[in-house]
Structure 1
């Protein structure tokens, strides 16, 4: 029996074609030359994995590479040498199909139950200094890439900050809450809750609200995201291995990748229905506590959605600026700070990351104070 392959003699950089006779006596012989006859007992045969080339390594260091798998396996079998168990499993279609089902089930189960469970445990286990590191780094990144300087009056900042202070949970679980103001730039009317307790609200959102109670309802919703560690759980589910390393080692530096991931997730990814429901529940319960009508949240969300729809329908002039729109309550911003994005994009960005639904709005409408 003869197999074809390439010979690497260890003396030259290249290879040359070779034919190897596989004898019934268990010896390999090169034809016409290349190496002296050698017993299979002295040859190391690499494991067969699919149809990748295999290597026959001789005692002298000379190596033969071949893809004549069937002939080589038949010869080895005739000598009583069993082929790799891995290849036998690969060749068993029933086993292969079963393995696919098992692997798919494991991945599905991990995605549905395992990773969410793990991300929740990890989010609550992270040390406060890690939360501070992630929050600080995320805000610095957003300031560089997204936010503009706020143009609201300092007195307005203080007025809202004082009211925000009343909303902060009495049992803060080591979280230091603070309110930050930024110009929204291309993301427009929006609010973000960072892991360290920082809540960022944009000027555009403040301008869109018709009263402070609407703003406070949004702030309570964002505080709910902090309390339930939603942003952390979201980023951890996208970076499970990194987060596990941080939890196990307590090393703040290993959280660097979470800082890199957090801004994109906050801006581009919407919270799950479960997370939004939890934050809504928190807001509803505490709006009642502070005497804020539940309808304020629904009013704001409906206005935000309505403004987005109306501005999206605006005709554009040749220079790309939107025509005036008859949209009461939507006049505050019709372009981002640089005029590069249509107004409807900015107005609907909060909706994209905090998707409203008729059910969510109805829940606030039906709530009794």
Structure 2
């Protein structure tokens, strides 16, 4: 330390040993043999504390907070001149980190880089994580998801179907014709089961569970007996199963929390609520993209099975006539609007 520069007078404040009185002071260095000698002087040049530089306890830099130098007898000198302290001691523990934490033009680049990395992870990393999770999920677990979900639906909202056997048989024929039009490897990879339920208040609807179980409401069969319409909607739901949309939504949602925890650690209860709501909003566009993908899959499948793909268009036209004025804005919806879907289906049919 003998090569350390001498300070003619570094301004700051001092606390005499065992007192809380803060007074203006300066730090003065002088030769002290192999080690530099350091004095604290008040404005009257009275020495408040002295020691070799090597005997001082020097706090690590922290933001713009004053640096503290504690003498062996307890006298404390503090100053905001970080550069002078670093010139005196050289780089100490935390000084390099403090340098890079300082506000400068590099900070904008670092922030931009972090935001870009977060966007790339969100845009591509979540899908990769979800696909990897699906690949290692045992079929028995996926089957159990269907069983548990169906039990919940039956307990909370569904009743046994009131359709006649003839009505069920007609729909099942359409369904098996669609499934038979799938490639053999797809048929072997997934299990396809069609169930009927009376769900008061849901109206004409059909939905697919992640493992391949599909449920069609009585109201749908009664309101839309047209085979082409049924084929289009069932083809859409088969598309959800084949493309594993349900599992992707589940794992993508879980992956979002893993990603946030990786980037931000423990976010706390308040930020956790913000993250939850933000994750819901971000997942809406992902869900709309899946619906569009399932529409296209259903159109291809119903066409391949010999049905008129315009049946799906007629279904959405009917929905638009019934509920078009009450549909939520797109950014708040899990599905594209019925009018948009009609236009997209018409464009697809024209391209066949």
Q: TM-score range by the shorter chain?
A: 0.5 to 0.7
**Structure 1 spans left out of the alignment, 5+ residues:** 10-15, 245-260, 313-343
1:228 Cα shift? 1.0
Which residue in the other structure is 1:361 paired with? 345
The number of residue pairs the alignment matches comes to 299
1:196 Cα shift? 0.7
Instruction: Give distance in 2, aligned partners of 1:196 and 1:120.
Output: 15
Q: Cα gap change, 1:228/1:85 in structure 2, threshold over 3 Å: closer, same or farther?
A: same
Instruction: Give distance in 2, aligned partners of 1:202 and 1:108.
Output: 40
Two-structure CA RMSD over aligned residues (Å): 4.6
Where does 1:332-347 land on structure 2 (aligned, <5 Å)? none
Which residue in the other structure is 2:34 paired with? none
1:85 Cα shift? 1.6
Larger Rg: 2
SS in 2 for 1:200: strand
Instruction: Give distance in 1, aligned partners of 2:72 and 2:206.
Output: 69
Which residue in the other structure is 2:220 paired with? 205
Instruction: Give distance in 2, aligned partners of 1:141 and 1:54.
Output: 62
Q: Cα gap change, 1:190/1:24 in structure 2, threshold over 3 Å: closer, same or farther?
A: farther
Instruction: Give distance in 2, aligned partners of 1:237 and 1:157.
Output: 35
Q: Deviations over 1:27-84 (max 9, x none)?
A: 698x9xxx99796656362452x35798889999x9x9x9x67246633433334462
Where does 1:81-96 land on structure 2 (aligned, <5 Å)? 81-82=91-92, 84-96=95-107
Q: Cα gap change, 1:150/1:216 in structure 2, threshold over 3 Å: closer, same or farther?
A: farther
Q: Give the TM-score taking structure 2 as reference length.
A: 0.65
Contact 2:58 2:67 in 1 (8 A): no
Determine which of 100, 106, 112 is the counterpart of 1:101: 112
Instruction: Give distance in 1, aligned partners of 2:308 and 2:137.
Output: 35
Contact 2:50 2:71 in 1 (8 A): no
1:89 Cα shift? 1.2
Which residue in the other structure is 1:127 paired with? 138
Which residue in the other structure is 1:80 paired with? 90
Where does 1:157-172 land on structure 2 (aligned, <5 Å)? 157=168, 159-168=170-179, 169=182, 170-171=184-185, 172=187
SS in 2 for 1:107: helix
Instruction: Give distance in 2, aligned partners of 1:59 and 1:163.
Output: 90
1:303 Cα shift? 0.6
Q: Deviations over 1:154-195 (max 9, x none)?
A: 524454345423433443343222123344455543332221
Which residue in the other structure is 1:225 paired with? 240
Determine which of 322, 326, 348 is the counterpart of 1:307: 322
Contact 1:128 1:175 in 2 (8 A): no
SS in 1 for 2:80: helix
Q: Give the TM-score taking structure 1 as reference length.
A: 0.62
Q: Deviations over 1:77-112 (max 9, x none)?
A: 333344622221122512101101111211222233
Which residue in the other structure is 1:43 paired with? 57
Is 1:152 the counterpart of 2:192? The answer is no
Is 1:275 the counterpart of 2:290? The answer is yes
Which residue in the other structure is 2:270 paired with? none
Where does 1:128-143 land on structure 2 (aligned, <5 Å)? 128-143=139-154
Structure having greater relative contact order (Cα 8 Å, sep ≥ 6): 1
Q: Deviations over 1:242-293 (max 9, x none)?
A: 789xxxxxxxxxxxxxxxx9xx97xx94655653443233222321232211
Instruction: Give distance in 2, aligned partners of 1:74 and 1:137.
Output: 67
**Structure 2 spans left out of the alignment, 5+ residues:** 1-10, 30-36, 43-48, 260-275
Instruction: Give distance in 2, aligned partners of 1:78 and 1:143.
Output: 76
Determine which of 189, 194, 205 is the counterpart of 1:179: 194
1:151 Cα shift? 4.6
Which residue in the other structure is 1:251 paired with? none
SS in 1 for 2:216: strand
